[in-house]
Amino acid sequence: MYTLSFPHLPLEHIAIAKEEEADPNLLEGVPSKYHQYAKVFGEEEFNKLPPHWHYDIGMKLTEEGPLNSPLYSMTDAKSTTLKDWLRDKLKAGKICPASPPLALQ
């Protein structure tokens, strides 16, 4: 059994996580031929990056490009959750910091 600790999350998020972890039938409803792939959805495999390939692409943004998404306000709880998610993804190498002028400071 695993124990998760989220010091910055509200208690309702922790309760939801514990309910999901407590599910003994995680593969219930999943066809048995796919059970062998269950580990790829776990935390350990999720934090591994795939190898680079010759067809990997990058996106270069220019200052002239439009911002397609308006800025909006968030509740403190949503903002904290977003910051925690971003910190975890940065640490795992899934995302990288943006550079000005498009980055929010």
pLDDT greater than 60 at residue 5: no
Of 4, 29, 36, nearest to 18 (Cα)? 4
Please report the pLDDT score of residue 59 as a whole number: 74
pLDDT band at 34 (very low <50, low <70, confident <90, very high): confident
CA distance 97 to 86: 10
Check pLDDT > 90 for residue 47.
Answer: no
> pTM value?
0.34
